[in-house]
Structure 1
Amino acid sequence: MCGIALIISGVRIDLSSLLPDTTIRSFPSQETESILFSVDDIKTALRRRGPDSLGSKSIFLHTDDERTLQSALEEEKEPIKESNRVLNYTLFGKLIFVGATLQLRGVYPITQPLVDKSGNILVYNGEVFGGIEVNSDSNDTEILMQSLNKCCSCISHEHEDTCGNGKYSVPEILSKIKGPWALIYWQESSKTIWFGRDAIGRRSLVVHWPSSKDSRFILSSVSPPSAIDELNFWEELPCGVYSLAMSASKMDEKLVGKVKRHNWTDPLLEDLIKWERTFVEPKPEDLTESDKMFSSEHRGNLHQKVLAALKESVRRRTIFSEIHLSNSPVAVLFSGGLDSMILAALLNQCLDPKFEIDLLNVSFDGELAPDRISAKAGLKELRKIAPLRTWNLVEIDAELSKMTLEMKHVLSLINPSNTYMDLNIGIALWLAAGGDGYVSQKINEKNNSKCQLDKYKSDSRILLVGSGADEQCAGYGRHRTKFRETSWGGLNEEMKLDMQRIWKRNLGRDDRCIADNGKEGRFPFLDEDVIRILLDIPLWEIVDLRQPSGLGDKKILREVAKMLGLNEAAVLPKRAIQFGSRIARESNRKNYGSNRAANQASAGTAFIHPL
């Protein structure tokens, strides 16, 4: 939806259940508390994302003479001040919620944070594509708020044993959601903060645990630029649901917030997290040509299932309210390679023909970059299968040597990621998502057709991205190396490792870089149903790395491409965006003098020096 944040001050944070060697992170007194940035700095970072609205709400926590914890909601325009009323309270702390909304669903505009009649507060950055019923004209954040309002106040994992009222717990509601999300929710009845991100990690949420550098507890979709020089200030919040229950300390005159992590309650979701495949090691007969006649029909059914699941995933991700969008509401991060071609072809099938489709392509070597060459070839192939659709190939050119200020900004966006590879990918994604480039237009001068480049800026608010395809279908070079060294079992373990760390290595970083341009990144290959179907298919039907590049890697997706009529794209080799756009080459030359020197220094995984 856009971005969220929470800043807590005046409360001691008990992390003992998360970090066994840690008990309570103590705060200094509010008079001496040092901070690296203000709430306004976070608002500024979120405002860059071009939200339709941005708001904040504050809660003031205190106890009465009987040490009962109470809360008072303060309006944004009425900041909390010390008064006679406040000074009479024994304990106090402050919680500030910030919500920025990019309105894509619902007929009527909303402003976050949402506050209901019970005093509950919600800031939500995500989409509900299933699990909770949302009508086409409804806003999913409002529907989620209504569902959370009906939850019991239990913090226990086994709430049914202690509650017994038939209500859902907060973790049960959040486990139902299909789609990407990050959330912060204040449950007034239990004086508890609930927070977390979806099980795959498709929405960014970084956390700062209280420290000597900054004594506050902070959650945010993005880091303010002022925190760029502080190493290890932020962490990517691990996927999951967390609670922070507030209580008055019996030991002294302080408030304490105890953090707990909760299990997902949906067994199917737990299975996705474990990423266990039933059929890994093929029998000899599974790989022989003698069963070819029998297996072709079976394989055809598998390909149909994957194609149907991907199409439904793309359809879910083209849900929007037309009153909020432009003539080209959905764009594709486009290299002309296998993954982006599949997404573009499926988007054509799901999107009303009246809409144009922007294909966003970035190059750091003009017309010579591999991704620019394949993008132009891909455009021709798309026009063959969908000649009536208006396709806009947006050519975005950049020179790394002229991007000093932009690099500093992107460095703050990728934080806490901090390698040159992260920065290269981040810059390429950030520029591509910006959509500021040129589109080739045909002109007719006395019957001689010519092309001219016209300035064009994509105003699509939804961007389809191919993340997850390589991890699930063995598209990386290291997968081929692992298969050569350890055969099918080792390959499966490498793919499993990729999927279980994608939230930390890729998705948070990518979400932040895309969202900074006022766009919402959506990842069809990481749809829960797509992941489940790919896991149910034998590994040797997903990939066969005995075959050469362009055939065996991502084998099943190549078959899907053929079914979509994308015969040329179906045989293209894998190229990562940093190599296809040639930003990695330019970065190596800038920072190391040459590609050879960069390779010798393992530049891709090297930590970034101050810019």
Structure 2
Amino acid sequence: MCGICCVVSTSSVCSALETRAYENLRKRGPCYSQEIRKTMTTNKDLSYHCLFSAHVLHMRGPMTPQPVEDDSGNVFLWNGEVFGGLPVGQEENDTHVLAQHLSHSQLPDEVLSVLSRVRGPWAFIYYQAAQNCLWFGRDFFGRRSLLWQCSPEQRLMVLSSVATAVPCTGDPQWQEVPAVGVYRMNLRALAELGSLTLEVYPWIHTGDVPPPASHKWEGLSSWASVTMNDSGLFLCAPVCPLNREVTEICPLPLDAFSPQPSAEDLDTLLQCGEKRKTVNQLIEVLSEAVRRRVQCLPGETAAPPPSDEEVDIAILFSGGIDSVILAALADRHVPVGKTIDLLNVAFKLQEPKKQKETSKKPKGNKLKPVDTDTGPTESDAFGVPDRITGRASLKELQALNPDRRWNFVEINVTREELQEMRLKSISHLVYPLETVLDDSIGCAVWFAARGVGTAAEGTEQKAYASAAKVVLTGIGADEQLAGYSRHRVRYNTAGLDGLVQELVMELGRISSRNLGRDDRIIGDHGKEARFPFLDEDVVSFLNGLPVWEKADLSLPRGLGEKLLLRLAARELGLGPSTTFPKRAMQFGSRIAKLENGRERASDKCNRLHTA
């Protein structure tokens, strides 16, 4: 993973990068930093200037400095991982491999052919010197961040993995580059005409119609002309379209299940041979996705066998179904004897208010029930729901493989530390997103990925900081398997057809809603976010199934949502964790309890504005 940046202008760009923005880029790539500057003069004696800045987090193969410049003066910046599609040998670096392929690609269709073959997350910037053009973009899901900022007054455009929050002063604002395709900038037109011209090459499923040229391009002023390319070229979508079949099925009889969802209920469903076959297909494809992400690590081939004390893999771990199945599958592929860090974050619960003593009797002689899930106990101020489920699921993993050392890292965050780090770092990483939901999840993920907390050593809890460079996250499971409460609401009001429409929307907006933000947040620690549930093969498999194979929302909470994943976890030998109900991270970690309880998730969050 890397921090990449490019500044394009018709004037000098020596001081184009702000100090904080540069620092945010450098933290993403602490292993190597380098800049390349290009000045090109057109036939009309007019010039354009480019600054390329790259900051490398070395992950596999030989260390490859970026930006990469070839003999023809082409410059390549790559923030991604090739997990398939293009052959990359164990002792090769994917940046070097991609740069070679692109050096032999002169025409737009050749560039698109290379990018269409890549399986894995990426954002890139590629300067073609002979063509006087700049290519850039993000993968189909937008798993890597790329932002843009456009200034007509300065005739300047900036692309960057991460930026810095801009006060509301009228200055150009940053926006995420829409992950609808890749873009080609005409640098000659910029120099000679003073206009910014971008052509879009969209992601297209075979047989689909390209999106309209009137697509809303966030963050660009009227100075920038953005149009679909007129050659009809496109990138081949790396996944199959979602199966929209909505044939009505007979609901399962509820009296066949326990009053409270249990692992035994899943055993009942697994007795169906066809159901078990589908479950094992999911296990196979998801296991392979996890393998790709836990075995592509820095220095695997050249280094001596690692010691047991080294930790390469960490998992954002709430103890819920998504994280526990990732841990169980990682256990299959992480070398025997190696530790896996389970990162569990909790925000300190506020002391409950003492009730005033009163001599008045309660009306109607009714006692108000006690909410045991809203305040801390004296013994554990961090006993939030995710800590409780995390500890319970840890025991299951230990039973599954008692020979593995599972580091359950308890990351405890006080209100004071939250406020300090939000102001210092997190607000700039969440930016340009700005809702209450972005604040809550961004803060929770930042502290979790940092991995600074305590872990058990014998019978004691001792200070511990995870050194793992790879952080697995379960994002993508809820979006594909109907895991959110809004999916159940939609199903209850509009049936299977409404649920399918909701799932189509979920994957369509995941780049702008989640992935860019989470990549910026996790990358700030010099670590790489990896998303097994968004592996192209996993998505294609799930997209190919009818919706009722993935979820049955006629069944109760803790069973019906993400049913296929729960069955897979049960097939792997997991127990009670297979029926833990979905709890959003902001509620499970209790960060939402620290702020204004009357806020809505979609509200603009004033806490993210630093000036």
Q: Cα offset for 1:218?
A: 0.8
Q: 313, 317, 320: which one pairs with 1:334? A: 317
Report the Cα distance in structure 1 between the residues aligned to 2:248 and 2:543, rounded to whole angstroms: 15
- RMSD after superposition: 2.7
* Mapped contact 1:63–1:248 kept (Cα < 8 A): no
Greater shift, 506-515 or 294-303, is seen at: 294-303
Greater shift, 231-240 or 356-365, is seen at: 231-240
Residues 352, 479 of structure 1: alpha-carbon distance in 2 compared, 3 angstrom cutoff: same
Structure 1 counterpart of 2:527, which letter?
K
Structure 2 counterpart of 1:277, which letter?
N
Q: 64, 67, 74: which one pairs with 1:113? A: 67
Aligned to 2:412: 397
Does residue 57 (structure 1) correspond to residue 73 (structure 2)? The answer is: no
Does residue 298 (structure 1) correspond to residue 252 (structure 2)? The answer is: no
Q: 444, 449, 452: which one pairs with 1:436? A: 452
Aligned to 1:26: none
Does residue 308 (structure 1) correspond to residue 292 (structure 2)? The answer is: no
Does residue 44 (structure 1) correspond to residue 59 (structure 2)? The answer is: no
Residues 40, 57 of structure 1: alpha-carbon distance in 2 compared, 3 angstrom cutoff: farther
Aligned to 1:194: 135
1:229-251 Cα offsets, whole Å, 9 max, x none, are 768711111112111122257xx
* Mapped contact 1:424–1:587 kept (Cα < 8 A): no
With normalisation by structure 1, the TM-score equals 0.82
Aligned to 1:353: 336
SS in 2 for 1:368: coil
Q: Cα offset for 1:263?
A: 3.1
Q: 371, 376, 384: which one pairs with 2:386? A: 371
Report the Cα distance in structure 2 between the residues aligned to 1:34 and 1:254, rounded to whole angstroms: 22
Residues 527, 392 of structure 1: alpha-carbon distance in 2 compared, 3 angstrom cutoff: same
Q: 64, 83, 90: which one pairs with 1:129? A: 83
Greater shift, 254-263 or 327-336, is seen at: 254-263
User: Within 5 Å, which residues of 2 pair with 1:147-162?
Assistant: 147-152=101-106, 154-155=107-108, 159=109
Report the Cα distance in structure 2 between the residues aligned to 1:351 and 1:34, rounded to whole angstroms: 45
Corresponding residue pairs, total = 530
1:157-207 Cα offsets, whole Å, 9 max, x none, are xx5xxxxxxxxx111110110000000001122121110000011000011
Q: 486, 493, 507: which one pairs with 2:494? A: 486
Residues 418, 385 of structure 1: alpha-carbon distance in 2 compared, 3 angstrom cutoff: same
Report the Cα distance in structure 2 between the residues aligned to 1:400 and 1:495, rounded to whole angstroms: 35
SS in 2 for 1:382: helix
Report the Cα distance in structure 2 between the residues aligned to 1:354 and 1:518, rounded to whole angstroms: 25
Report the Cα distance in structure 2 between the residues aligned to 1:348 and 1:481, rounded to whole angstroms: 35
Does residue 540 (structure 1) correspond to residue 557 (structure 2)? The answer is: no
Structure 1: segments with no counterpart, 5+ residues: 11-29, 68-89, 160-168, 443-450, 589-594
Structure 2 counterpart of 1:550, which letter?
G
1:228-276 Cα offsets, whole Å, 9 max, x none, are 8768711111112111122257xx9545552100134774985667843
Aligned to 1:79: none
Report the Cα distance in structure 2 between the residues aligned to 1:604 and 1:368, rounded to whole angstroms: 27
* Mapped contact 1:327–1:356 kept (Cα < 8 A): yes
Q: 113, 117, 126: which one pairs with 1:176? A: 117
Q: Cα offset for 1:575?
A: 0.9
Residues 578, 286 of structure 1: alpha-carbon distance in 2 compared, 3 angstrom cutoff: closer
Aligned to 2:232: none
Structure 2 counterpart of 1:379, which letter?
L
Report the Cα distance in structure 1 between the residues aligned to 2:312 and 2:276, rounded to whole angstroms: 33
Structure 2 counterpart of 1:520, which letter?
E
Structure 2 counterpart of 1:416, which letter?
P
Structure 1 counterpart of 2:501, which letter?
E
Structure 1 counterpart of 2:94, which letter?
D
Q: Cα offset for 1:563?
A: 1.1
Structure 2 counterpart of 1:551, which letter?
L
Residues 254, 215 of structure 1: alpha-carbon distance in 2 compared, 3 angstrom cutoff: closer
Report the Cα distance in structure 2 between the residues aligned to 1:230 and 1:406, rounded to whole angstroms: 26
User: Within 5 Å, which residues of 2 pair with 1:481-520?
Assistant: 481-520=489-528
Aligned to 1:582: 590
Structure 1 counterpart of 2:247, which letter?
E
Report the Cα distance in structure 1 between the residues aligned to 2:237 and 2:244, rounded to whole angstroms: 11
Q: Cα offset for 1:384?
A: 0.2
Structure 2: segments with no counterpart, 5+ residues: 208-234, 257-267, 349-380
SS in 2 for 1:200: coil
* Mapped contact 1:171–1:264 kept (Cα < 8 A): no
Q: Cα offset for 1:576?
A: 1.1
1:34-88 Cα offsets, whole Å, 9 max, x none, are 98x6265432211123520011111102125xx3xxxxxxxxxxxxxxxxxxxxx
Residues 483, 603 of structure 1: alpha-carbon distance in 2 compared, 3 angstrom cutoff: closer
* Mapped contact 1:438–1:453 kept (Cα < 8 A): yes
Greater shift, 188-197 or 540-549, is seen at: 188-197
Structure 2 counterpart of 1:297, which letter?
G
* Mapped contact 1:228–1:412 kept (Cα < 8 A): no
* Mapped contact 1:176–1:266 kept (Cα < 8 A): no
* Mapped contact 2:475–2:531 kept (Cα < 8 A): yes
Report the Cα distance in structure 2 between the residues aligned to 1:516 and 1:294, rounded to whole angstroms: 42
Report the Cα distance in structure 1 between the residues aligned to 2:487 and 2:543, rounded to whole angstroms: 17
Report the Cα distance in structure 2 between the residues aligned to 1:514 and 1:475, rounded to whole angstroms: 23
Q: Cα offset for 1:278?
A: 4.5
Q: 95, 101, 108: which one pairs with 2:50? A: 95
Q: Cα offset for 1:405?
A: 2.9
Aligned to 1:281: 247
Structure 1 counterpart of 2:279, which letter?
H
Residues 244, 576 of structure 1: alpha-carbon distance in 2 compared, 3 angstrom cutoff: same
Greater shift, 498-507 or 315-324, is seen at: 315-324
Residues 116, 293 of structure 1: alpha-carbon distance in 2 compared, 3 angstrom cutoff: closer
Aligned to 2:199: 260
Report the Cα distance in structure 1 between the residues aligned to 2:252 and 2:555, rounded to whole angstroms: 15
Report the Cα distance in structure 1 between the residues aligned to 2:254 and 2:442, rounded to whole angstroms: 43
Residues 197, 228 of structure 1: alpha-carbon distance in 2 compared, 3 angstrom cutoff: farther
* Mapped contact 1:208–1:234 kept (Cα < 8 A): yes
Report the Cα distance in structure 1 between the residues aligned to 2:461 and 2:42, rounded to whole angstroms: 66
Structure 1 counterpart of 2:460, which letter?
Q
Report the Cα distance in structure 1 between the residues aligned to 2:142 and 2:411, rounded to whole angstroms: 28
SS in 1 for 2:83: coil
Report the Cα distance in structure 2 between the residues aligned to 1:265 and 1:482, rounded to whole angstroms: 28
* Mapped contact 1:362–1:395 kept (Cα < 8 A): yes
* Mapped contact 2:244–2:500 kept (Cα < 8 A): no
Aligned to 1:592: none
With normalisation by structure 2, the TM-score equals 0.82
SS in 2 for 1:129: coil
Q: Cα offset for 1:123?
A: 0.6
Structure 1 counterpart of 2:161, which letter?
S
Report the Cα distance in structure 2 between the residues aligned to 1:549 and 1:211, rounded to whole angstroms: 52
Does residue 343 (structure 1) correspond to residue 326 (structure 2)? The answer is: yes
* Mapped contact 1:311–1:346 kept (Cα < 8 A): yes
Residues 507, 581 of structure 1: alpha-carbon distance in 2 compared, 3 angstrom cutoff: same
Aligned to 1:204: 145
SS in 2 for 1:570: helix
Report the Cα distance in structure 1 between the residues aligned to 2:399 and 2:451, rounded to whole angstroms: 24
SS in 2 for 1:329: strand
* Mapped contact 2:127–2:135 kept (Cα < 8 A): yes
Aligned to 1:3: 3
* Mapped contact 2:182–2:202 kept (Cα < 8 A): yes
Q: Cα offset for 1:568?
A: 1.3
Q: Cα offset for 1:565?
A: 1.0
